[in-house]
Structure 1
């Protein structure tokens, strides 16, 4: 099941945390070929260093910063063009993925076909930073979204 999950990691000028997020996803059983990192930092001089911090097989795309949503959309589109996934996970560059979190999110979706997505939020430290890990059911072309009314 986890091999049929695609993952998008979006970051903006946080090169030191991206590799750890990707490693965590791989540790959860997601294949490197199923991970897309979107870098919207607009710092081309940092790209080679960022690429070196990622496991072979992970797709890295550097883009003009048009916002978080545009970066997520590009990552999802890139995954959809590569192959069909049951679920697409979206993570920010600062998320800390606890062991088993991806399986729990996938299980919640597997157990209720009317649910379109699940998310997990954690608040860490005194600055109350929050990071989201979102797993969304991929609606196939021509199918009705089971969460739509």
Structure 2
């Protein structure tokens, strides 16, 4: 299981940062909704319910909210990691191909898995890499006669 989680954390820093931000946003949203519901409903409920029962209700509500939020946050975290994996994987692939291209290698085209995001960007990068490769080949072809001519001149001197 640990290996599979590592496979999903391709760019650990980015994925965990986005997951944390999403969890904070979700918890904040839930707290705001909870406070609004509390201030809307509680004055009505407190008029009909005895004080002893109100204290029991507060404890019960807090207990349930706290213990149900832990699995919910875990599920949200897992979903965020899966979603960010569909972005981090393609970015990792694209970065590697561009590094190979810049190093003078001839990288294969970028192919993304079904369901991955950034398909359009991968297509555009494939076009750029193809143009870059053809330009490099043209420069090498143009440089070959010049190199041969230079060697011929040096040999005659």
TM range (shorter): under 0.3
Please, what TM-score do these two structures have when normalized by structure 2? 0.22
Q: Radius of gyration: which is bigger?
A: 2
Q: Which structure has the highest helix share of the two?
A: 2
